[in-house]
Amino acid sequence: MTDDPGKIIIVEGLTDKKQIKKVITEKLDIVCTNGTLGVEKFDELLEIYDLDDREVYILVDEDSSGIKLRRQLTRELPHAEHMHVSGEYREVAATPEHDIAVELAGKGIKVNPIFLQ
């Protein structure tokens, strides 16, 4: 279990995580699912990251695997807040930093202001 009960963002892959890390200034956890989650893997994440008691944000690709993962996470974490990338880019990793920063800032996550210009 983590010591920080703060915010956590759930993404699909490492490239998504890297894209988000470029723009945030706030200390928070970013967890990669590497696609859909099995019951055991989800239960492990639930326990390790104390997902029931944290501010959880979901930012996944706007493709079939991302939509499937979003549905699964919605069922398992009904308190989670959802963020979306434009269908124009479809993938978090392909979304410009400005657009990522705007989406994150809209949820109260601190971002480097240079990306909001």
- Domain architecture of the chain: domains with CATH: 7-110 (3.40.1360.10)
* CA 36 to chain CA centroid, nearest Å: 14
Q: What pLDDT shows up at residue 38?
A: 85
**pLDDT of res. 39:** 86
Write down the pTM of the prediction.
0.92
pLDDT tens, the chain, 117 aa long: 444 468 999 999 999 999 999 999 999 999 999 877 888 989 999 999 999 999 999 999 999 999 999 999 999 999 999 999 998 999 999 999 999 999 999 999 999 999 998
Helix runs in 7-62, H state only:
14-23, 39-48
**Which CA distances in Å does 105 have to 51, 52, 112?**
21, 23, 9
- C-alpha closest to that of 104 among 84, 74, 88, 87: 84
